[in-house]
Structure 1
């Protein structure tokens, strides 16, 4: 990983200088500088707009009781795009703009998700427990019961809360009357 980063730190500025020289030779120095500034301004505006939209989608997912995984990945892509567009250069600006395209982010999401899961060593297990308990089969969380919990040590007559992990008791959904 370190050699890749080191290679990028060396090669990206060289490539950016080469592109600046070529573009400056075709359209001139001042138009090239103006282009870089215009791209930065437009990119900032577009990033803000898409960032707010992504935040709104994440809030809506949380309100529905869903994990906003796609929205979090989009947010990470947008942060990376912002970093690329803050770096002076036309190549990094171009790559930043590519990451601002929602279709590109949708295309990249599964690859990043698989990469992250492989690095985290996470295993996803599906079970028929939800079906047997009458919980939704679409992967949603089922009933949410708010409350506070505390651990009571065996033999404690007072039932006073003790510091420690929260115990929530029975995780099955409440039985239906009838």
Structure 2
């Protein structure tokens, strides 16, 4: 509740106060131009970083790894895009912090530790689909936690029996 109050009440008031003070110092037109330029530059930079991050995600998926950190960074990039097109200096600073790779990665890791839903658990991605086990290792690694090897094939006999009855 406190976070929502800060986002929707305190932050806009602080932005307005800061915009008024800056425009009093450098002029209204200069302040307006700075806000427009940071929005345009921010949108371009978020787009560029988004494509780079997408390539990292695809590389991890091809390697059979869960791109959990990259997905958290992608969420931060989405928030950064919204912050950068919102007029104001505080939102621009936060947006650029979420956009720059050297600051985005530690923020994403911090959020992954604090928000349990962003933790991937054990996951394995491959071209054949999504596989997971409680150990976090892919199914095809062979050994379970107790040391037994589980391997097998099965055939669903119920479908073939249903087909034979219909014919």
- TM class by shorter chain equals 0.7 to 0.9
Greater helix fraction, Structure 1 or Structure 2: 2
The two structures have a TM-score, normalised by structure 1, of 0.68
Tell me, which stretches of 5 or more residues in structure 2 are unaligned?
A: 123-133, 137-142
Distance 1:103 1:122, change over 3 A: closer
Aligned match of 2:106: 107
The 2-side partners of 1:47 and 1:102 are apart by 11
1:38-86: CA deviations, max 9, x gaps? 0001001101100000001111111111111121111101001011112
CA shift at 1:97, angstroms?
0.6
Distance 1:93 1:126, change over 3 A: same
Distance 1:70 1:63, change over 3 A: same
The 1-side partners of 2:77 and 2:118 are apart by 22
Aligned match of 1:40: 39
1:122-146: CA deviations, max 9, x gaps? 8775497279579xxxxxxxxxxxx
Aligned match of 1:93: 92
RMSD: 2.9
Q: Does 2:132 align with 1:129?
A: no
Aligned match of 1:158: 161
Distance 1:61 1:129, change over 3 A: same
CA shift at 1:8, angstroms?
2.4
Q: Tell me, yes or no, if the aligned pair for 2:113 and 2:119 is still in contact at 8 Å.
A: no
CA shift at 1:159, angstroms?
6.4
Distance 1:19 1:120, change over 3 A: closer
CA shift at 1:120, angstroms?
7.6
Distance 1:74 1:121, change over 3 A: closer
How many equivalent pairs are there?
Answer: 142
Tell me, which stretches of 5 or more residues in structure 1 are unaligned?
A: 135-148, 161-178
Q: Does 2:28 align with 1:29?
A: yes
Q: Which SS does the other structure have where 2:87 is aligned?
A: coil
